[in-house]
Structure 1
Amino acid sequence: MTKNRADYPCVLPGDPVCLDDAGYVQEVLDCLAAAAAVAHDYGDPEKYVLAHLPFQVAADTLGRIRCDMPPARRGAVFLMALPAFEPEALWEVLGVLRRARDADADAAEAYDLVRDYAMRCFLPPRGIDEVVADLERILAVLSLDIPAVRTVATTLLLDGERDDAFRCARDELFAAWRAAGLSGLPGTGAPS
């Protein structure tokens, strides 16, 4: 499969419960986007390290993924093409959150905002370590680049036969996602 520079094919688990953490992470990123926009309006565009746009693109990407997921089907996989700038924005934001977690002075405002928002606005309360870990897990799913991804994506894109090669590749994806920390995934040999 030839990858167009503008599209980033992602294979996602067919059960959105695996990406439940994307909802609260999206809210955190929306909050950062709003704060960065206000900081920009008041002449401090680097207060949250990045301008508001990467935060907003990252939040919108998580929202679109969550909205575009088909009805849950355990053992299924779902193909989604993302414009390349969307995963790039998620990686940029992850970099800011890592800097904040690691006490980088330039990311102190981001740390304070994320810490306060995640601790006070969610049940159970979340820490910045959890926000970083959950975004890392989401990105591990979106950026997984193993041969199994190409096999599954090609089969789904071409509406090909779900043969043994497809099922084996799908099972490799589930194993890789479990290794990345996603829970609720079926074991090997799940029905297609």
Structure 2
Amino acid sequence: MTKHRADYPCVLPGDPAWIDDARYVQEILDCLAAAAAAAHDHGKPDKYVLAHLPYQVAADTLDRVRSDMPPARRGAVFLMALPAFELEALWEVLGVLRRARDADDDAEVYDLVRDYAMRCFTPPRGVDEVVADLERILAVLSLDIPAVRTVATTLLLEGERGDAFRCARDELFVAWRAAGLTGIPGS
């Protein structure tokens, strides 16, 4: 889970493909938010496990990250601060999706995600793909290694981008590739 602080510094790849390719995840979360709100209005607040707000916060966070990404620049990094509650909502939603995928009594969530992902996207997606893509997004947004702090500090202070910065940036590239991101230098 995220640390309890107002903002969480995220160092992101300069190529927005890592988040643009997962736009469909945002659409699914918007759909879950609407379904959870409707279920609440009909006296079934637990039908989709969570209230609509965590789903909507998670969807809005993905939208904001996508829209705030600068134009693609291979080898660049981008600094963004996310409020901790947004990361917590994403983690909470991921937990629900994992339990639904693993058939832990979240049948309504599973059915909605499966049907929406299979019927509304080209190519069709499975629940496993939705979970994997959200995990990949969170691996980037929640990465907490010393290299993140080095790069974030350098970017915040507009410091010298010397060897320490380049080494830290390269460590980020390695971590992102390990998380399954493509288009990262060195891949």
Q: Structure 1 regions of 5+ residues with no counterpart? A: none
Q: 52-61 or 179-188: which moved more?
A: 179-188
Are residue 154 (structure 1) and residue 153 (structure 2) matched?
Answer: yes
**What is the letter of the counterpart of residue 21 of structure 1?**
D
Q: Which residue of 2 aligns with 1:7?
A: 7
Q: Indicate if the aligned counterparts of 1:18 and 1:185 stay in contact, CA closer than 8 A.
A: no
SS at match of 1:113: helix
Q: Which residue of 2 aligns with 1:134?
A: 133
Q: Indicate if the aligned counterparts of 2:147 and 2:172 stay in contact, CA closer than 8 A.
A: yes
Shift of 1:64: 0.1
Q: How many residues align?
A: 185
**What is the letter of the counterpart of residue 174 of structure 2?**
A
Shift of 1:4: 8.2
TM-score scaled to structure 2, two decimals?
Answer: 0.96
Q: Indicate if the aligned counterparts of 1:14 and 1:74 stay in contact, CA closer than 8 A.
A: yes
Q: 123-132 or 17-26: which moved more?
A: 17-26
Distance 2:130 2:51 in 1: 20
TM-score scaled to structure 1, two decimals?
Answer: 0.94
Q: Which residue of 2 aligns with 1:114?
A: 113
**What is the letter of the counterpart of residue 119 of structure 2?**
R
Tell me the C-alpha RMSD between the 2 structures.
Answer: 1.2
Q: Which residue of 1 aligns with 2:62?
A: 62
Shift of 1:16: 0.2
Distance 1:186 1:115 in 2: 34
**What is the letter of the counterpart of residue 29 of structure 2?**
L
Q: Indicate if the aligned counterparts of 1:22 and 1:66 stay in contact, CA closer than 8 A.
A: no
Shift of 1:18: 2.1
Cα displacement string for residues 34-63 of structure 1 (whole angstroms, at most 9, x for unaligned residues):
000000000101100000000000000000
Distance 1:21 1:51 in 2: 27
Cα displacement string for residues 12-48 of structure 1 (whole angstroms, at most 9, x for unaligned residues):
0010012233311000100000000000000101100
Report 1:65-84 matches (<5 A).
65-84=65-84
Q: Structure 2 regions of 5+ residues with no counterpart? A: none
Shift of 1:187: 1.5
Identity %: 86
Q: Which residue of 1 aligns with 2:170?
A: 171
Distance 2:63 2:162 in 1: 32
**What is the letter of the counterpart of residue 151 of structure 2?**
V
SS at match of 1:66: helix
